[in-house]
Amino acid sequence: MASLNRPSEWVPGRPDYALLALTAVLTITGLIAVYSASFVIGLARFGDPQYYVIRQGVWACFGLVLMVAAMRTDYRLYQKYAVPIMLATVVALTAVLIIGVEGGGARRWLGVGEFTIQPAEFAKLTVTLYIAAWLASKGDNIRTFGQGLAPFVVIISAVGVLIMLEPSLGTTFIILSITVTMFWVAGASLMQMVTLGVTGSIAIAILATVAGYRMDRLMAFFNAELDPLGNGFQTLQALQALGNGGLNGLGLGASRGKFFYIPESHTDGVFAIVGEELGFIATCAVLSLYIILMVRGYQVARRSRDDFGMLVATGITTWITIQALLNIGGITRVIPLTGVPLPFLSFGGNALAAVLLGMGVLINISRYRVEERPVAAEAKAKTPARPRHVVRRARR
């Protein structure tokens, strides 16, 4: 098609309304979940049961503004400014280590008073944009060591080190998952992926055991029952809350776990509160929303008109999917607790704004998708059947 040969003439079409609807439903659900899970803590800490939900609502409005702006901005503009965006990210992550605000034993924020920015949350998107631009420019050269694997490892390692110094192993793992997935989709060889998998697994294992609190989380995962009032407290209380909810739940607002049984129930533990109050059916519904978002996101990537759009859509979808899996997996004791927020549902203004901004970029990419047209019966009869597997970089 002519429009594919002359990108400057691309005309935006309709956005993916399913992604818009999913974003709206998850955001509204998150506000309800934050209020229900936080009013006890807000009342105890600040004398205001609406303390957390008001702040989450303000950030939701700010995030929606960012989302609408991103939806109306041609995503190819990010490819042009990928290097300045990445430089700004590195500067912000470095500034956190020098003049950042400390809290909870970590230094992750920039700002004064209650207004703070957490650069690592937005780095998930900015790194995605930069890596997508870099991979798109390399083409098939990414399969080489000198132009592909080596510089890729250097770039990701630099960002990972800055985030680990805050420290935040969960965020580091998410960024690694995003970029490695993009590297694979861009056409990396099997040997490169095996090398990344082995070295990455070793690095994550070392980082997960060198710090005392991370070792405590591992011990809580394997032997929570041995220390039910210590390291295993959060894990066991989350499971008990889910069990209390049963099939239909105790009722909205009726959770017992948020009365200081589940630490930070409005952030890391919000999924357990949803399960206790609304039951197994509601948790399955939430999981279904994330699965649908994942499927739609990867469909946007598959139908994108250029490699940059395909890679950005892949990265954003992987980001939200992996982060949701890490949070829900930790609460249900499928994996160790990581301390990452549940996208859309957990309290955290920066995390919510960053996710909404990312969804805006993804929806903008969906406006330039290649529409799939039905094939005429005669043509279909002459066309040999395609193999039933995913072909990476099919355009090439």
Q: Find the length of the chain.
A: 396
Q: Which two tokens stand for residue 126?
A: 């900015």
Of the candidates 165, 179, 221, 177, the one whose C-alpha atom is nearest the C-alpha of residue 201 is 177
**Pick the residue with more confidence: 270 or 11?**
270
Residue 64 has pLDDT above 90, yes or no: yes
pLDDT of residue 377: 42
Maximum Cα–Cα distance across the chain: 72
State pLDDT tens for residues 314-361.
Answer: 999 999 999 999 999 999 999 998 889 999 999 999 999 999 999 999
> Phi and psi of 104, rounded to 5°?
65, 30
Q: What is the dihedral of CA 349, 353, 356, 362, to 10 degrees?
A: -140
If one compares 303 and 231, the residue with the highest pLDDT of the two is 303
Please, which pLDDT band fits residue 47 given cuts at 50, 70 and 90?
Answer: very high
- Which residue from 88, 98, 94, 84 is spatially nearest to 163, judged by alpha carbons? 94
The packing angle between helices 169-185 and 190-210, to 10°, is 180
DSSP, collapsed to helix, strand or coil, labels residue 390 as: coil
Answer yes or no: is pLDDT of 11 > 70: yes
What percentage of the chain carries pLDDT values higher than 90?
70
DSSP structural state of residue 115: E
How confident is residue 387, by pLDDT bands cut at 50, 70 and 90?
very low
Give the DSSP letter string of 302-324.
Answer: HH-SSHHHHHHHHHHHHHHHHHH
Query: Strand 106-112 to strand 115-117: parallel, antiparallel, or no bridges (unpaired)?
Result: antiparallel
Residue 286 corresponds to which amino acid? V
188: number of CA atoms within 13 Å, CB side? 25
In this predicted model, what pLDDT tens digit does every residue of 348-386 receive, in sequence order? 999 999 999 999 999 999 999 876 544 444 444 444 443
Residue 103, beta-bridge partner list: 106
Rounded to two decimals, the pTM is 0.90
Indicate the residue type of 293.
L
- β-bridge partners, 102: 107
21-35, 212-226, 236-250, 359-373: segment of lowest average pLDDT: 212-226
Closest CA to 294 of 266, 271, 265, 328: 328
Q: What pLDDT is recorded for position 13?
A: 87
Q: Which of 105-109, 179-183, 197-201 has the highest mean pLDDT?
A: 179-183
> Which residue is associated with the tokens 């939430």?
286
pLDDT of 240 strictly over 50: yes
Q: How confident is the model at residue 4 (pLDDT cuts 50, 70, 90)?
A: very low
Average pLDDT value for residue range 71-93: 96
Exposed/middle/buried for 247, CB within 10 Å: 0-12, 13-18, 19+?
exposed
- Measured from the Cβ of residue 9, the count of other Cβ atoms closer than 10 Å reads 9
d(CA 122, CA 132): 16
- Read off the pLDDT band of 212 (50, 70, 90): low
pLDDT at position 213, please?
67
Instruction: Work out the mean pLDDT of the chain and round it to a whole number.
Output: 88
CA–CA dist 317, 313 (Å, integer): 6
Checking if the pLDDT of 300 tops 80, the result is yes
**pLDDT tens digit sequence for 137-185:** 998 899 998 888 999 999 999 999 999 988 888 999 999 999 999 999 9
pLDDT of residue 371: 66
Query: Model confidence at 10, in pLDDT bands (50, 70, 90)?
Result: confident
In 3D space, the residue among 151, 153, 157, 159 whose CA is nearest the CA of residue 127 turns out to be 159
**Helix (H) / strand (E) containing 102:** strand 101-103
Q: Quick one: which of 119, 202, 205, 200 has its CA closest to 162?
A: 119
Q: Which amino acid type is present at position 130?
A: Y
Write down the domain spans for the chain.
Answer: 11-369
